[in-house]
Structure 1
Amino acid sequence: MISPDWCRMMAAYNAEMNRRTIAAADGLDDAARRSDRGAFWGSLHGTLSHLLWGDTQWMSRFDGGAKPPVGQKDSARMVEDWAALKAARVATDARIGAWADGLTAGRLAAPVIWFSGQSGREVSMPLWIAVTHFFNHQTHHRGQAHALITAAGATTEDTDLPWVVDLAALGLTP
C-alpha cells in the first residue's frame, strides 16, 4: 500500500511537472499546440485538456468537490482557451496538493465508492488503488504531452522525480 507521504510527494511532482509542461508548451504558438499529431487525444492542447479533465474527475471522487463540466468523450475540448487551461491547471494542482496534505493511512485503506458513467455501474475499491491509478494516469498523459512538445520542436526541463521534487522540503529525506 502507498503512504500519505508518497501521495504528498506525487502531488508535488505532479504540480511541478505540470508547471514545466505548460512552460514548454507556452513556447509554441496556438496552432502548434492545437495541431493534431496523431496522439490519442489528437493535439497537445487536447491531451492537456484531457489530463485536466481526468484530474478533476478523480478529485471529485476523492474530495467530493466539483466534477468536470463535460464527459470523457469531450474532455479534449473541455477548456478551449489556452490561458483558461493554464489557470485551471494551477488551481487543480493546488486542490490536489491540499487534498494530499490531509491524507491519512486509514483514509488510504478505506474504500472510495463512485458511480462510473463509463462502465454504467457503482465502483468500490480501496482509495490507495484509485490514487495509484490517478498519479499513473497523470504520468502517462504527461509522457504523451512531452512527446508532442518535442515533436513540435520545443524542449522541456528535466522530468526525473528525485531531481524535480524538493524531497527535503517535504520531510522525506533522512
Structure 2
Amino acid sequence: MISAGYCRLMSRYNTWQNASLVTAADELTNEERWKDRGAFFQSIAATLNHLYWADALILERLKGNGRPEEAIKHSLTSPSNWADFKALRLHRNKEIEEWAARLCDDDLGGMIVWYPGDGSTRIEKPKALCAMQLFNHQTHHRGQVHAMLTAAGAKPEPTDLQMLEY
C-alpha cells in the first residue's frame, strides 16, 4: 500500500507546509488569527490547534498506544499564545519526522487497535491506512488554513508536493 519512504517524504512535506503557514500567519495579528472565517473550526488558530492535536493522537496510535485520548486532550483554544503554538508545532513536526525516519516497510504492516475517548468501541484498522490518514488529514486542514490565510491577505507558499526541495 505505502512504504516507509512515502512516510519520510510526507513527514518532510508536513514540516515544510506547517512552516509556510506559520510564517504567513506571523503576518497577522492575534485577533486576525482567531477571527471566525466560516471554516469548519472557524479560525486559523483553532484549525491549526486541531491539527496539532490530531497529529499527536494519530501518531500515538501508530506507535501502539490504544488509548491516546487519556493523555492527549483535544482543544481548539489551546495553546492560545502564538509563540507557544509555534514552539509546540516545531516539536510535533520533529516528532513526526523522527517516527518516519525509524520506519521500515514491514513496520507499516498489520493492524492497530485503539479506543476512542469514551472507551466504548474497539477500532481496528490497517496500520498503513492510519499512516496515510495522518498525512491526508494534515493536507485537508492545511488547505483550509491556506485559504483562510490567503483571504486574510497573507501569502503562504505553494502547496504542490513537487515544489518540496530535495
Q: C-alpha displacement at 1:47, in angstroms?
A: 0.5
Counterpart residue identity of residue 27, structure 2: G
Deviation by residue 1:89-116 (Cα, 9 ceiling, x = unmatched): 0000000000001112211012111112
Q: C-alpha displacement at 1:59, in angstroms?
A: 1.2
C-alpha separation between the residues in 1 aligned to 2:160 and 2:119?
34
Counterpart residue identity of residue 125, structure 2: M
Q: C-alpha displacement at 1:158, in angstroms?
A: 1.8
2:116 alignment partner in structure 1: 116
Deviation by residue 1:67-94 (Cα, 9 ceiling, x = unmatched): 66423xxx21131111111111000000
Q: C-alpha displacement at 1:151, in angstroms?
A: 1.2
Q: C-alpha displacement at 1:64, in angstroms?
A: 5.1
Give ranges in structure 1 of 5+ residues lacking alignment.
167-174
Q: Is the 8 A contact 1:158 1:164 kept in 2?
A: no
Q: What aligned pairs does 1:2-151 form with structure 2 within 5 A after superposition?
A: 2-63=2-63, 69-71=72-74, 75-117=75-117, 120-151=120-151
For normalisation by structure 1, the TM-score amounts to 0.88
Q: Is the 8 A contact 1:50 1:78 kept in 2?
A: no
Q: Secondary structure at the match of 1:124?
A: strand
Q: C-alpha displacement at 1:5, in angstroms?
A: 0.3
Q: Is the 8 A contact 1:24 1:155 kept in 2?
A: yes
Q: Secondary structure at the match of 1:77?
A: coil
Q: Is the 8 A contact 1:44 1:149 kept in 2?
A: yes
C-alpha separation between the residues in 1 aligned to 2:76 and 2:56?
13
Q: C-alpha displacement at 1:62, in angstroms?
A: 1.7
1:157 alignment partner in structure 2: 157
Q: Is the 8 A contact 1:70 1:78 kept in 2?
A: no
Judging changes above 3 Å, is the alpha-carbon distance between structure 1 residues 128 and 87 closer, same or farther for their aligned structure 2 residues?
same
Q: Secondary structure at the match of 2:156?
A: coil
C-alpha separation between the residues in 2 aligned to 1:127 and 1:148?
32
Q: CA RMSD in A?
A: 1.7
Counterpart residue identity of residue 16, structure 1: W
| Identity rate, percent | 39
Count of equivalent residues: 163
C-alpha separation between the residues in 1 aligned to 2:118 and 2:161?
32
Q: C-alpha displacement at 1:157, in angstroms?
A: 1.1
Deviation by residue 1:14-44 (Cα, 9 ceiling, x = unmatched): 0110001100000111111010011111110
Q: Is the 8 A contact 2:57 2:72 kept in 1?
A: no
Counterpart residue identity of residue 53, structure 1: W
C-alpha separation between the residues in 2 aligned to 1:14 and 1:45?
17
For normalisation by structure 2, the TM-score amounts to 0.92
Give ranges in structure 2 of 5+ residues lacking alignment.
none
